[in-house]
Amino acid sequence: MKIVVLDGYTENPGDLTWEGLERLGELTVYERTPHDDSVIQSRIGDAGLIFTNKTPLSAATIRSAKNLRYIGVLATGYNVVDIRAAKEQQIVVSNIPSYGTAAVAQFAIGLLLEICHHIGYHSDVVHQGKWEACPDWCFWDYPLIELDGKTMGIIGFGRIGQQTARLAAALGMKILAYDSYQDSALSGKGVRYVTLEELLGKSDVISLHCPLFPDTEGIINRDTIAKMKDGVIILNNSRGQLVVEEDLAEALISGKVGAAGLDVVSTEPIRRENPLLKAPNCIITPHISWASRESRQRLMDLAVENAAAFLDGRPQNVVNL
């Protein structure tokens, strides 16, 4: 069985091994594949199993792959695959759920702590000699923020939202949660489910951990920002399209939003014209919340498990049933 990985570099830049997939068939790994249907189709060739991270698989590409029976997505999100066309061709599509819960939640808190303390900045200026030249025994160039007793509102209270809540609670924060599904086992145990309106109005920090659906796209916008506390901190390491970037940039400039910590933007890689690049008090990192070695190893292990289960006639984590 021929197996092709279309864009393996992000998952494995060299610190992991593809041995698990090599044991399942004749493996070809491309570090990157141009987003061009003809190139993608050529690289798929007569493979029976393929893996993609962000390389798009259009209906035309899927229908042209006559031997293709399985598509493994090396991520949780699977919007790069035309799953309807795959189902029509009786091709199984599997994703990788839950591999990055700990890493993504940890990163959200990392963004928050950087906003509160500006650790990177203060380290830089110490190395530049500013502390040495200071007449006092200490100095700080930004207001420092203590989180104990403040309120974090979490929009999207699935696995990652819950893990973020546990970390925030360890810092002494109160937790408000908004989700279409409410787990009664969690309610009252340091978490209070509220309406979106209440969360917006009472939170000192708002952290986004919801999927991208039509009703969540642009959930952070001019109208919802207007309902927030002055100086609120907004975190997003879920999906860039949850935020109307022009509106957030305006709110950062006006000071309505005190700071933002973002690991995702609407178009990735980020475009030079993105208004958030010029907005004050805005940390932007290049979509790396998920990318710890431990997280990527879990992803690799689950990708192999998914493929092995398919070959054994018991497909798992199927998204196009």
Q: What's the pLDDT score for residue 319? A: 97
pLDDT bin (cut points 50, 70, 90) of residue 57 is: very high
Token reading at 151: 């309120």
Condensed to tens digits (0 to 9), the pLDDT of residues 255-291 reads 999 999 999 999 999 999 999 999 999 999 999 999 9
Q: Which of 104, 98, 57 is nearest to 301 (CA)?
A: 98
Tokens 């929009």, residue? 155
pLDDT bin (cut points 50, 70, 90) of residue 185 is: confident
187 pLDDT more than 80: no
| Catalytic residue selected from 209, 239, 296, 298 | 239
Query: Is 268 among the residues known to form the active site?
Result: yes
Q: What's the pLDDT score for residue 38? A: 98
| Catalytic residue selected from 22, 268, 293, 294 | 268
Provide the 8-state DSSP code for 47. Answer: -
For the chain, what are the domain ranges?
A: 2-99+293-311, 101-284
Superfamily of domain 2-99+293-311: NAD(P)-binding Rossmann-like Domain (3.40.50.720)
pTM of the complete model: 0.94
| Catalytic residue selected from 159, 192, 287, 305 | 287
Domain 101-284 has CATH 3.40.30.10: no
CA 243, CA 240: separation in Å to the nearest integer?
6
State the SS3 of 65-81: CCCCCEEEECCCCCCCE
* Contact present, 148 and 197 (Cβ < 8 Å): no
Token reading at 235: 């975190």
Beta bridge partners of 133: none
Hey, what amino acid is at 155?
A: I
Average pLDDT over residues 17-40: 98
pLDDT bin (cut points 50, 70, 90) of residue 34 is: very high
Backbone φ and ψ of 156, nearest 5°? 100, 100
Same fold? 2-99+293-311, 101-284: yes
